[in-house]
Amino acid sequence: MMHDPATRIQELKQFGEFGDVNPSITDSSTYTFLEAKTMTDTFEGQAPGCFLYSRHWNPTNKYLADAMAALEGTETAWVTASGMAAITCTMLQLCNSGDHIVTSVTTYGGTYAFLKNYLPKFNIEVSFVDISDLNAVKKAIRPNTKLIYTETMTNPMLQISDIPALSKIAHENNAKLVVDNTFTPMIVSPAKLGADIVVYSMTKFINGKNDCVAGAICGSEEFISSLSSVNDGTAMLLGPVLDPQRSSGILKNLHTLHLRMKQHSHNAMYLAQQMTEYGMSVNYPGLPNHKGHELLKSMMNPGFGFGGMIAIEVETSAKANRLMEMMQQEGVGYLAVSLGYFKTLFSNSGKSTSSEVPENIQREMGLTQGLIRFSVGLDNDIENTFTKIRLCLEKIK
């Protein structure tokens, strides 16, 4: 049976202690116990449903975590103060000194920097591969490989990861598959395709308002319990706790995600088609000529489209900068990093969100100096938006 993430969210029964249709916000760092033994049991993980300290669990965060688990179809979830906290806590929980990770070389710049520059201090080795080359993934596996890490739709090259195939490779080698699904919430459900753990920057499409940073880790009860253990849980001990006020806001926004993803996808498809007809070099997984088009179709949940992310090529960073400045002036959107906002955002990836990746590696992965990444917004009149883009394109010819 096909996973329907929108219906799973809609079917949640979450309400406040006084019957509030919105779950109550627990504005407390610590919690009282009626019996001392219950406190002891809670520290030992033997009192489910009890809260002891908000770095461990907070009721408001639990509401959001339950909703994210429903979205992904996992047993449970954990929410964090940022997407990078979700990624780093997951990796550090799974890996010890002497372990090995296989990862996509095409990935968010912050993730790349953590893998390349930070993990070596813990003697954790990382192999970077073209994640679309399954033979390269297989060859990179070692006896001490603990996980394969990728993004469903990679940033910023928009490659599509073959999640079922990567899951098979990982599991044949006693490793875990960790998938960042930030670009494709609702569109793809990695856990239903074989991923062991799904991570998110909820800052992006999940929240959709660019008014906070937050992350999520979706997985099994066993893994999430290990993350939150008071003795050796990475999330518990490093402390990247999400503020419950923010958590409450994200939960409300999550209930409109299905509507927003459809509109983001509709608008991105229109712009991709129009810019292709105009003669631009366009990278969009919704176009039939995209290398990963059929693969994405085979993994998609129906009805949500191909996502809101587009990349175009304009030859040089100087030309990209001129075009982006003009588009901002014309009201197309904002020259800004991040994505999933209700306004269109655009940036020159090689000089911004992927700047942590050395230029020689950027060239190897096909990231050119003139690539502009678009996060297409929720424009009601997308035809008018393209008219503005076309005017800008004509000025930089």
281-283 sheet: strands from edge to edge:
281-283, 309-313, 371-375, 344-348, 333-335
User: Per the structure block, which two tokens stand in for 342?
Assistant: 């209700």
259: left (phi over 0), alpha (psi -120 to 50) or beta: alpha
Architecture of domain 259-395: Alpha-Beta Complex (3.90)
Cα–Cα dist 302/250, whole Å: 24
DSSP 8-class letter at 281: E
Q: Concatenated DSSP letters for 235-275?
A: HHHH--PPPHHHHHHHHHHHTTHHHHHHHHHHHHHHHHHHH
Helix or strand (DSSP H, E) at 311? strand 309-313
3-state DSSP call for residue 297? Answer: helix
Class of domain 5-254 as given by CATH: alpha beta
Q: Give the list of residues 6+ apart from residue 351 with CB closer than 8 angstroms, or none.
A: 317, 369
Report how far apart, in Å, the C-alpha atoms of 257 and of each of 167, 215, 252, 367 are: 27, 16, 10, 30
Residue ranges of the domains in the chain?
5-254, 259-395
Please answer whether residues 270 and 83 qualify as being in contact, where contact means their C-beta atoms are separated by less than 8 angstroms. Answer: no
In tens digits, what is the pLDDT along the chain, a chain of 397 residues?
Answer: 468 999 999 999 998 888 889 998 999 999 999 999 999 988 888 888 889 899 999 999 999 999 999 999 999 999 999 999 999 999 999 999 999 999 999 999 999 999 999 999 999 999 999 999 999 999 999 999 999 999 999 999 999 999 999 999 999 999 999 999 999 999 999 999 999 999 999 999 999 999 999 999 999 999 999 999 999 999 999 999 999 999 999 999 999 999 999 999 999 999 999 999 999 999 999 999 999 999 999 999 999 999 999 999 998 889 999 999 999 999 999 999 999 999 999 999 766 666 677 777 777 777 778 899 999 999 999 999 999 999 999 998 7
DSSP 8-class letter at 118: I
Cα–Cα dist 173/155, whole Å: 26
